[in-house]
Amino acid sequence: MSDELAIGNVLFRQSKLGPTAEIGRSYDLVIAGLSWETRGTVALSRLRKTDMPVVLLKFRSRSVEIEASKAAQFGNYRKLLANVSVKDLEPSINAQENFLIIKTWLQDLYARAGKPLSILLDMTCLPKTYVLFLLGLGFREELAARIDCLYTPGKYDLVSSSASGAPVITGPRSILSEGEWHSRQIPYLEASEYIANDLDLLVTLGGELGLSLPFIDRFEPRRLGLVFIDETSPGKGTPMLASERMAYEELLREPNVMQIDMPLCDAVGMARHALTFVDASSARGITLMAIGA
């Protein structure tokens, strides 16, 4: 998969790395998240130049076990990379405090370099809130000239088989680790009015549809677009908890609802679909919500 799309004065390109492909470009800064997930080090193991400055964002955990897992992963990074360090942050739910720390840090790096930075962002183990914050901050404040993103998809075995071979759901299709559900506009990309009286709404969804439903209902959209991950779309007979199935069916009962399924890593395809959705709208306002991947 290789594709590109220009939106305004920003050019987006995407491609899929092959099994033996390496990343040969030089960057002023490489950012990743320090995590308990075993896939965390996979993307940066593809770096050909292992001496670039790599900074791992480490959110303070509430579990001794997770802290130990993060320490172990840091050891793995040190085996792969020659210039890796950790930036300690508050728990990920303390977004405003962490945003200020990250902003000050990047402003200092920008001032030291005397030019906008070229950044490689491994977003595999970073909360989506922080990925979007870094994109908004980097481009709107002109701290970054280029941001390349890496992502290593995870595999979550939340459905097992019974003795008869029938699927048994062992947990929800997605996991909320901590914190409360609330909506937040992307910093530096805020709209003056994002809940208009006459509104079309486009939503990307993953699991936890029951928790997503109240957010969608409060908008009372005139036209509702749903985007699911192609590989796990509930429309394809994927096993679901009964409560999740009910939430999905409730979403489909919304007036003027339309659903499409997009491959997990097709960001350019998602952007094209969003532009098509916007172009077809005659509403006073259009809101896009990134709930899922």
Question: For residue 244, which phi and psi values (nearest 5 degrees)?
Answer: -70, -40
Q: How far apart are CA 114 and CA 289, in angstroms?
A: 35
Residues with Cβ within 8 Å of 69's Cβ and at least 6 positions away in sequence, in order, are 35, 36
- The pLDDT value given to residue 173: 44
- Break the chain into its structural domains and give their ranges: 24-150, 190-290
Give yes or no on whether 24-150 and 190-290 have one common fold: yes
pLDDT score of 201: 94
- The C-alpha atoms of residue 36 and residue 61 are separated, in whole angstroms, by 10
pLDDT at position 94, please? 95
pLDDT block averages, 10 residues each, the chain of length 293? 83 91 96 95 95 97 93 96 97 96 98 98 95 96 96 70 50 55 87 79 88 86 93 81 88 90 92 95 91 82
Selection from 58, 212, 31 nearest residue 135 by Cα: 31
Look at phi and psi of residue 237 and say left if phi exceeds 0, alpha if psi is from -120 to 50, else beta. left
Distance from chain centroid for Cα 90: 19
The three state secondary structure string of 97-147 is HHHHHHHHHHHHHHHHHCCCEEEEEECCCCCHHHHHHHHHHHHHCCCEEEE
Per-residue confidence (pLDDT) for residue 176, from 0 to 100: 54
Q: What is the pLDDT of residue 241?
A: 84
Nearest to 56 by CA among 94, 92, 87, 97: 87
Instruction: Write out the CATH class of domain 190-290.
Output: alpha beta
State the pLDDT at residue 104. 98
Q: What does the DSSP 8-state code read for residue 232?
A: G
Q: Do residues 47 and 128 make contact, with C-beta atoms less than 8 angstroms apart? A: no
Was domain 24-150 assigned CATH 3.40.50? Answer: yes
